[in-house]
Each structure stands twice: as C-alpha cells, then as structure tokens.
Amino acid sequence: MNLFFAQSLLPGVNLWLIAPEIIVCTAAVIVMMVDAFAHPAQRWITGSISLAGLVAGGISAVWLWSSWTGVTEAFNGMIVLDDLRMGFTAVFLLVSGLTVLVSIVWVEDEKLPAGEFHSLLLFATAGMMFMASGGDLVIVFLGLEILSIATYVMAGFRRSDIRSNESSLKYFILGSFSSAFLLDVYEGAPTPVTAFMAAGPKAAGFASFLRVFVFGFPFVVASANTALGARIHLAWVSVLMVLAILTMTLGNLVAIEQNNVKRMLAYSSIAHAGYALVGFVAAGATSDPSQRNAAIAAVTFYLLTYSLMTIGAFAVVQLIARQGDTRTEVEDYNGIGFKSPVLAFLLALFLLSLLGMPVTAGFTGKLMVFRAAIVQHYYALVVIAVLNTAVSAYYYLRLIIVMFFRERTTPWNAPRVPASIAVALVLAALGVLYLGIFPNRIINALQTKPAVSVLNR
C-alpha cells in the first residue's frame, strides 16, 4: 500500500509498468518461505508456486501489451514499454516455465533443495525481464547482475559433482571480468540449467544489445546528416557483420567435432546466436522505423523459436542422461529410436527444427531474419548464413542417424517420462509445429507497439 501511495506522490513512478517483474520477484520470495517450512516430501509444491508466479507474470504482461493505455515510460525513462520489451518478456517467461517443468523431477531425483533452485530461477527470470525493459544502462546493468548471480549458483547447484562446481567457478570468474563463459559450463552444469542458460540469458543479451546499439546510439540518424556519422555507422554495421559470420562459422565447425551431445548443442547455440545477429544487422542498418521494427520482431521471433526447440532437445537429453548426467555421449543414443520411439521422434523434431527444415519453427525463424537482411541488401551475409545452415546439417542429422540406423551393442532401458517433463515436451513440440505452420499471429503481435527510442525522449 505504501508503495502505491508513493507512486501517487513521486513523479515518474509507475509500478504498473513493472507489474510482471514485481509478480515474479514476489513469487520467488514466497517460494523461499514455503521451502523453509515445508516437509521435504512436499517440496514439489515450490515448483507449482513457481509456475503459478510465471503464469501470473505472463497475464500481467499480456495486459500491459494489449490493454494498457497509460504512459509508456516510467521512473524518468528508466523503464519503457514497447514491443521489444514485451516480446522478449514472453520469451523469458516461456523459457523459465519450461525449465521449471523439466526440473521438478530432476531436483527430486538428485535430492537437491527444490525451493532454492526455483527461487534462483525466478530471480534470474526477473533479471532478464529488467534487461529487456531498461531504458537506461543502470537498469540493464541491474538486470544483468541479478541474472548473473542467480545463474552462477545454479550452474554449481549439484554441489557433490565436481564438474558442476568447476562450471560454476569458471562462469563466476569469467563473468566477473567479461560477462562471458566457457563452453565447459554447459557440459558441467546440470542439464536443466544448461537448457536455461542456452536460451534465456542469450535472449536477454540480445534484448539489451538491441536497446543499446539500435536505440541508444543514433548512428542511423547521424549518417543522414554528416559524413563522419555515415562512416561511424558503416564501421559499426561492418563489425556486426563480421561478428555474425565468425559466430555462425566457428560455432558450426567446432560443433561438428563434438561427441558429447551437451557440448554439441552448446556450440550449436553459438551458431544460432550468429543467425540472430543477421537480423540484428538489419535492424541497425535501416533508418526506416517500420523496417527496423520488422527486423526486431524477426530477431525476437527467432529467439522464441530457438528457445522452444533448445529446451525441448535438452529435456530429452536429460531423460537419456539419467541421474548425474552420465550418458551424454553420441554413442549413448545408438539404436534408441526403436526402444523409445516417442523420445527419439521428439528429439529428431527438435533437431530438424534447429537445422531449419520446412514446416518447423526453426525454418520460419531463419526465413524471417534472412528476409530482414535481404531487405537491407545484405545478400552476401544471407548466403553465408545459408551455407552455415547446410554445414550444421552434418551434426544434427548425425544424431538422428545414430538413433534410428545404428544398432545398440549394450543393454538399455527406456527412461520413464514424468508427467511434468511430458507436459514440457508436448508444449515444446506443439510450439515448434505451430510457429512453423501458423506464425503470422505471433509475428503480428510482436509488432503491435512501436519500439521506444532514446531519441524520442
């Protein structure tokens, strides 16, 4: 009550614009309190509370997106409301919700404190949401720190596993200096955490980069006025192009050499960041607001599709890896297509979507970012991206061939699929097919509110 009273007195304060973040943080605190007093056998309740908090945050975000008619900035421009923020907020909430579903059984099987994990996940989600909503570098940095601290702990959450401890330490040391991390973090971290880190923080990074580099640095406007501004803008876009090419190429080439499935998906995620950068280049190159917003919507849609297929793939990997992530090599997948056809089919669907096969979400996502670049006449960049997609076919199809066309020489029993993971797999699979066949409604929704530029303040 005091907070809303302060809202009426202080200029620029509007708590309604951060209602989704408030709800998610409140749910995180409730989860901690419930976990402190709940019986160990009833700690699955924290997962249910976490899901309820994420759904409530999603409902408030939809309300802001579709029905809010008030101001679009608060706290003196430090919080903004536009399609960039709301589109990425939807991605974050979806990623976290699927991660909760995948992790509910995992924390029970590993005998880990469920409440601590779920509260950390919710705080990390709030951090990502602040990164997307920040109209000021202070808010972006605040969100980054909240996200980083939570993921440091989650990466080493399996404290009895030396690989998990090592990944957490590497993540912390490198994050302290450069906000980057080694691919060893992916292999050593628990699989649900790896799935979350492969999708959520990557999307948060793109949200903040778009906000800063597309809106914060008015190079496009400057290029229309001065020769110096034009040269600066050309240099900036050229650097992004080179970064996109290197990211796509190196990620794919190194992924080809991997025999560990988690590491393969980790290097694959680097390549997918390069594909998303293609849309980033298109957004930064144009001075036309409609083309810029279309390119931003393409990047957001691509990261949405990437999140669905990545978490779906990691959910299957977790089931096959069993307790302690002991079965994550490619040879562990020999012949499982006939012993567990449903899991093998779902993993094949997610891998084909990551490859970009037609009728899947991955195809539509790549088509959108490539089209945005073509509109800006970056034909060479698109050709290189298409060639990289062809290269990635090797390691994606390799795993599918191993599952269905290679005989198994060791005994293997199909894993039991818990209800929560089954729900996550069904949602991910339906999302991959729906966004691949009927993407227009989501694409149009991502462009309902024009993006807020610092130049308009």
pLDDT in tens, 244-260: 999 999 999 999 999 98
More confident residue, 106 or 436: 436
180-212 per-position pLDDT tens digit: 454 565 666 778 888 898 898 889 989 988 888
- Model confidence at 304, pLDDT cuts 50, 70, 90, reads very high
With a cut of 70, say whether residue 226 has pLDDT above it.
no
3-state SS class at 73: strand
265-300 per-position pLDDT tens digit: 988 999 999 999 999 999 888 878 888 889 999 999
Alpha-carbon distance 125 to 117, whole Å? 12
Task: Give the single-character DSSP code of 93.
Answer: H
Backbone angles phi, psi at 73, to 5 degrees: -140, 150
3-state SS class at 9: helix
Query: According to the model, what pLDDT value does residue 166 have?
Result: 52
In terms of phi and psi (left: phi > 0; alpha: psi -120 to 50; beta: otherwise), the region of 75 is left
- Model confidence at 154, pLDDT cuts 50, 70, 90, reads confident
Query: According to the model, what pLDDT value does residue 455 have?
Result: 42
- Model confidence at 415, pLDDT cuts 50, 70, 90, reads confident
338-377 per-position pLDDT tens digit: 889 999 999 999 999 999 999 999 999 999 999 999 999 9
Query: According to the model, what pLDDT value does residue 457 have?
Result: 46
With a cut of 80, say whether residue 114 has pLDDT above it.
yes
Sequence letter at residue 351: L
